[in-house]
Chain A
């Protein structure tokens, strides 16, 4: 369970978070919506240990991460968190398979078979040895998902993962996420401003001006 208490983040030019409290349950699919500048990306970064808050605490199963040193955070990230971003950031000179293996390398050791398996699960078994430039946007994003999940993280943090995709591809990606989510049972925190995407979650937080203004749960 992730506990967030009194989270504030002040940048020199602006205030991004003005006190956020929330609990995220294990195996939850949480969407966060809000206009740009509402602080949702900042919140996601702090949740993922990519940034330090100005004030407040974030704890994973009781383990506080805001007081960790940079290297400890790195170790925490590699074992617990997977990231997906709007742009499908892949290393351009590595093939799809090697991109996944790089995440294995930072975690522990590489295992080519396992990486190929992961790509097969996202439906890319025919694209293992293609470079990112040879893949379509949807395929690139699927590589990113495979990479984010290769080390069996507890939490997947997604920042506008379908922002650059058309509706059809968006649906494919979300279906894939949904399938993996129900199979592997990790928590998803997904930031978006697209109500269609947000609708895939079981719970929706709406943010505005650095605060959570609405917290609704859907029961299907």
Chain B
């Protein structure tokens, strides 16, 4: 009841100078938005990066002039420092009179890909570009032959996958099936590894000793990009955030001070009515709280929107907005606006009403 009255009077005061309030809200939004987008991005980037690396790639590559025997996959899987082993077989097969790329993967690896549709045993997945070009839909039957014109093997298209790069043009099918199709039993073309970054160098050396017949190459750019890029971006965001926070504190504090000076007579008058300093301060605090709440709301929207935009352009995919960003936005917005308003608010108490009402200030 009493709070309702407090909000009522404050609301009246706010209506009187919407422009200034808007400016304060905007300043708070900007800082909160930056903070939120920074947090969402750095959390999202970490997750996404490690997911991307796990999904696609890998920080080491094993190739050979010839095909690689599949039993090597088993041996590699036994090594502790290797988190993932992804064997792939590349081949070309004729589809509707045209040769296309076909990639063979293990079923469990296929299941980890980003697929619209399903990953089923014995079915194939099409890259999005290929699917567009060939007007393929899930459920279609795909006949593959080697060479063109010979007897076709039929597969069901169960999903479309998205992947950056040339693989977008390819079909993906189960490794075993492709081996059968190509007549390359127990062979793979390439093995991708994800080696634990902590012991990367050591493991690479060991692998070279253990498999002299194979070519083992680190995939440098991915391995390096994991940490250093993230750190640089985070630092940059941090610097910008500090600048914006300082700027918004100055803005909000300045506007509050101006408002309070403008309303000095009103404040003196309230004192003659028997208002305590606390009661008067409450008006301005409520104003700051409303500003902070609106600002954090706007800031959260702004922050998530910008984070998503950046994420979309960087990863071609949205990042998850963590639940705790909401209380974080609210509390930081409130803290920002209340903290910057507190100094001018406290100054009100310094004035005696008699001095103001006599017109000496």
Query: Which residues of chain A have a CB within 8 Å of any CB of chain B?
Result: 41, 45, 48, 50-51, 70-71, 74-79, 81, 83, 85, 89, 91-94, 98, 101-103, 105-107, 109-110, 147, 151
Task: List chain A residues, Cβ under 8 A from B279.
Answer: 106
8 more contacts with CB within 8 A, not counting A50-B352, A78-B274, are A41-B358, A71-B278, A76-B274, A78-B275, A89-B357, A94-B12, A102-B9, A109-B2
Of the A-B pairs whose beta carbons lie under 8 Å apart in the complex, a sample of 29, sorted by A's number, is A41-B358, A45-B354, A50-B271, A50-B272, A50-B352, A50-B353, A71-B278, A74-B271, A74-B276, A74-B277, A77-B272, A77-B274, A78-B273, A83-B272, A89-B265, A89-B357, A91-B266, A93-B15, A93-B16, A101-B5, A102-B270, A105-B2, A105-B5, A105-B6, A106-B279, A109-B1, A109-B2, A109-B5, A110-B5
Q: How far is the CB of B355 from chain A (nearest CB, A)?
A: 8
In the assembled complex, B269 has its CB within 8 A of some CB on chain A? yes
Contact B274 A75 (CB under 8 A): yes
Query: Which residues of chain B have a CB within 8 Å of any CB of chain A?
Result: 1-2, 5-6, 9, 12-13, 15-16, 265-266, 269-279, 349, 352-354, 357-358
Q: How far is the CB of A146 from chain B (nearest CB, A)?
A: 12
Main secondary structure of the interface of A (DSSP, over half): helix
Contact B12 A74 (CB under 8 A): no
Closest 3 CB pairs of A and B: A78-B274, A77-B274, A93-B16
Contact A98 B354 (CB under 8 A): no
CA distance A83 to B274 in the complex (A): 10
Task: List chain A residues, Cβ under 8 A from B272.
Answer: 48, 50, 77, 83
In the complex, which of the residues A48, A71, A98 contacts B277, with contact meaning CB atoms closer than 8 Å?
A: A71
Closest to B353 in A: A50
Contact B269 A89 (CB under 8 A): yes
Contact A85 B15 (CB under 8 A): no
Q: How far is the CB of A86 from chain B (nearest CB, A)?
A: 10
Given the interface contacts A91-B266, A102-B9, does A74 sit within 8 Å of B352 by beta carbon?
A: no
CA distance A57 to B62 in the complex (A): 97
Task: List chain A residues, Cβ under 8 A from B6.
Answer: 105
CA distance A89 to B278 in the complex (A): 21
Q: How far is the CB of B286 from chain A (nearest CB, A)?
A: 13
CA distance A147 to B275 in the complex (A): 14
Task: List chain A residues, Cβ under 8 A from B271.
Answer: 50, 74, 77
Given the interface contacts A94-B12, A98-B12, does A74 sit within 8 Å of B274 by beta carbon?
A: yes
Q: How far is the CB of A128 from chain B (nearest CB, A)?
A: 15
Given the interface contacts A94-B9, A109-B2, does A77 sit within 8 Å of B357 by beta carbon?
A: no
